[in-house]
Amino acid sequence: MSAPSAVRTASASGGRRTKSKSWLATVPLLAFVALIFGVPLVIILGGTFKRDGAFSAANITESVQGAYLTAMIGSVKLSALVAVVGALLGTFLAQAVVTSRFRLLREAVLTASGVLSNFGGIPLAFAWIATLGNSGVITKALGLDSAGWSLYNFWGLALVYLYFSIPLMVVVVVPALDGLRQQWREAAQNNGANTWQYWRHVGIPVLTPTLLGGVVLLFGGAFAAYATAAAMVGGTVPLVTLQIANALSGNVLIGHENVALALSLDMIIIAGLVMAVYLPLQRRSARWLR
Amino acid sequence: MNGAKVELRGLRRNFSGTAALDGLDLTIESGELIALLGPSGCGKTTALRCVAGFEQPDEGTVLVDGKDITRVPANKRDAGMVFQSYSLFPNLNIRDNVAFGLRVRKVPAAKRHARAQELLELIGLPHIGGRFPHQLSGGQQQRVALARALALEPRVLLLDEPLSALDAKVRVSLREEIRRLQLSLGITTIFVTHDQEEALSMADRVAVLRAGRLEQVADPATLYDRPATPFVAEFVGTMNRVPGRIDGNQVAVLGQTLPVDGDLPGTPDVDVLIRPEAVRLTPDAEAEGMVLVSSFRGSTAQLRVQLGDIEVLADVPGHDSVRLAPGTRVRIELVERPVLVSASSGATAASAKTPVPEHDVV
């Protein structure tokens, strides 16, 4: 009887040893996170509550008033629109591709989605300006300018943001759609369910955690985007990222750098609020996974 | 609940040029459990899916109690199905899985939960209603899938290799349970399997399929003892192919003369099909045969015996394996009874060296 107990002891102490040292592996990651999140956060917090060398809430107060408030609302509206529309269209596109019998189409769409979901900044703005801007190829060819078309407004910006958001949603949701087993659909049919009942009771609930994650991801991507908007609309569409840039560069008023930090803090709070809504929803929708 | 009579008439189904079903005719009587047995690609699953409504035959009809249901959509058919595995809805707990069909039919919650509980008791798992599928073992999941398939009291039960993903012990206990339930409910059942033991042990009748056609349908004992064709003989159970020579209505094989069962091929040189249990071995130092390998299986042992340039498999009682250890010289004798013969497969000696169907190699 001594042999098994010896084995047990050895494996137990082995387990403890592994556990006690395992945290060391996370040190590089923690150091990295501390550097790229921690340091900026400290600077933001420090700067936000300081004006003219003294502790003050003036920056925060100013950041939620007037043009800054308008910009914040504009950013939230744009991001929410892009997130919801992008998630919907991306999911339908992904489902079309996943159920397609043409393997080549699937490969092509997935590759294109991988590339386009990373397309952003000045090159993206330029591509759109050259095609659908005031003197864009398609604008001129179809005479859209005389019909009152303009890319340089809220809706134009939403269109451009969707250009990378829809592919991002495709990339996110395709694995989840692939994970829907044919047997579930057939078992549902076998139990008398029609297509809609299958989606309502099985398909959509199984996908919900992924869909919610996709919406949040798209929201975050649109909320934080700066270069595309800066190159396309400059100051004509109020967005918080553009306001931060203006305040930092002293474009409108000098000495407002700390308002930029306050606006950054506001963005963090908005992101936190989004997560506060998302996480319980996600947990609820994924309770069958635990 | 009483079972329906199911008739498959002239079913044909092509998949990109390959015929999965090639004019399949089969009648399943009310309350009967029939096993569709065959190698992969023989069309057994396609036939089952035609009954479930997941496949449309290119030609032919499916009749249930004389009513043509060939074009009836899957969700309007009166048949419960159990899939190979992983078919429980992962987002619903066990109770809701079992009650799914009732929910779709808008049965009030209290009533459908009571019915689900009743079914969970029937399958011997009354306490798992609140769990999710991933918290159950494979065997439990398949029991729940069975309960779900029975929830709407269908008149036909379709089982698509429901035990193939389970380990051996669970497989045996679950097949006994399925049979017990099937008999007590009297539900007509079509059971697809590639496992001959499963088919022989559970079914009232076994239908052996080959290349989309019915090869033979018979009760298990007949199928095993009097296979209609060499294919059935070799697919069901293990079979030796030993070279022999036709002489009138008899065949000379291994120094004995045995009556021939079934059709005689055109050529005098034939392969004689002999079951391992019809081969008797006696230790004899002067004999030509020699035991090469012995696989002990408990109550029996299967011996591989070298005889000249052929090999013969013999099943002997387990306790005989000691005196018939590898290296022992043995005399071979065949049980006197009619044997099946098939046209010699050319290089007789070579073919006789692999007398066991591939799936049964030890």
Q: How far apart are CA B146 and CA B150, in angstroms?
A: 6
**CB A62: neighbour CB atoms within 10 A?**
19
Q: Which residues contact A24 (CB under 8 A, 6 or more apart)?
A: none
Instruction: Report yes or no: A165 and A90 within 8 Å, Cβ to Cβ.
Output: yes
Owning domain of residue A274: 60-289
**pLDDT above 50: residue B349:** no
In chain A, residues with a C-beta closer than 8 Å to the C-beta of B135 are none
**CB A194: neighbour CB atoms within 10 A?**
14
Number of domains in chain B: 2
Q: Measure in Å the smallest separation between the Cα of B360 and chain A Cα atoms.
A: 30
Instruction: Report yes or no: B46 and B66 within 8 Å, Cβ to Cβ.
Output: no
Asked if B62 and B202 sit in the same domain, the reply is yes
- Residue-wise pLDDT for A162-221, tens only, equals 999 999 999 999 999 998 999 999 999 999 999 999 999 999 999 998 999 999 999 999
- In this predicted complex, what is the ipTM? 0.82
Q: How far apart are CA A232 and CA B183, in angstroms?
A: 74
Asked if B186 and B308 sit in the same domain, the reply is no
Q: Which residue of A has its CA nearest to B104?
A: A193
Asked if B128 and B202 sit in the same domain, the reply is yes
A84 vs A57: which has the higher pLDDT = A84
Establish if A29 belongs to a structural domain: no
**Amino acid identity, position A169:** M
Q: Measure in Å the smallest separation between the Cα of B264 and chain A Cα atoms.
A: 47
Task: Compare CB distances from A192 to B88, B90, B104 and report the shortest one's residue.
Answer: B104
Asked if B261 and B204 sit in the same domain, the reply is no
Q: How far apart are CA A244 and CA A226, in angstroms?
A: 10
pLDDT band at A18 (very low <50, low <70, confident <90, very high): low
Q: Which residues contact A169 (CB under 8 A, 6 or more apart)?
A: A86, A87, A89, A90, A91, A93, A94, A214, A218
Establish if A16 belongs to a structural domain: no
Establish if A46 belongs to a structural domain: no
Question: CATH number for the domain including A254?
Answer: 1.10.3720.10
DSSP character at residue A149: -
- Residue-wise pLDDT for A36-51, tens only, equals 999 989 988 888 888 8
Q: Do B83 and A186 touch (CB under 8 A)?
A: yes
Establish if A148 belongs to a structural domain: yes
Sign, CA torsion A68/A71/A73/A76 = negative
Least confident of A50-59, A64-73, A116-125, B270-279: A50-59
Q: Do A181 and B86 touch (CB under 8 A)?
A: yes
pLDDT band at A11 (very low <50, low <70, confident <90, very high): very low
What global pTM score does this model have? 0.79
Q: Do B75 and A202 touch (CB under 8 A)?
A: no
Q: How far apart are CA B79 and CA B188, in angstroms?
A: 10
Task: Compare CB distances from A186 to B54, B104, B152 and report the shortest one's residue.
Answer: B54
Least confident of A15-19, A281-285, B125-129, B276-280: A15-19
What is the structure's pLDDT at B297?
87
Question: CATH number for the domain including B199?
Answer: 3.40.50.300
- A 198-217 → B contacts, CB under 8 A: 201-202, 205-206
Q: Measure in Å the smallest separation between the Cα of A195 and chain B Cα atoms.
A: 10
Q: Measure in Å the smallest separation between the Cα of A194 and chain B Cα atoms.
A: 7
Query: Which helix (H) or strand (E) covers residue B317, if one does?
Result: strand B310-317
What is the structure's pLDDT at B234?
84
Establish if B231 belongs to a structural domain: no
Q: Which region, left, alpha or beta, applies to residue A262 given φ > 0 means left and ψ of -120 to 50 means alpha?
A: alpha
Establish if B151 belongs to a structural domain: yes
Asked if B52 and B103 sit in the same domain, the reply is yes
Instruction: Give the 3-state secondary structure of residue B58.
Output: coil
Asked if B211 and B270 sit in the same domain, the reply is no
Least confident of A51-65, A241-255, B100-114, B281-295: A241-255
**Mean confidence (pLDDT) of chain A:** 86
What is the structure's pLDDT at B262?
78
Instruction: Report yes or no: B104 and A197 within 8 Å, Cβ to Cβ.
Output: yes
Residue B104, chain A, CB below 8 Å: the answer is: yes
**pLDDT above 80: residue B72:** yes
Q: Among B100, B134, B136, B148, which would you mutate to test the A interface (most chain A Cβ atoms within 10 Å of its Cβ)?
A: B100
Owning domain of residue B196: 6-225
Taken as a whole, chain B contains a residue count of: 362
Number of domains in chain A: 1
Least confident of A144-148, A181-185, B3-7: A144-148
**Percentage with pLDDT > 70 across chain A:** 91
In chain A, residues with a C-beta closer than 8 Å to the C-beta of B90 are 184, 206, 288-289
Alpha helices, H only, A179-239: 182-190, 195-198, 204-224, 227-233
Q: Do A288 and B86 touch (CB under 8 A)?
A: no
Domain boundary at B189, B204, B225, which?
Answer: B225
pLDDT band at A10 (very low <50, low <70, confident <90, very high): very low
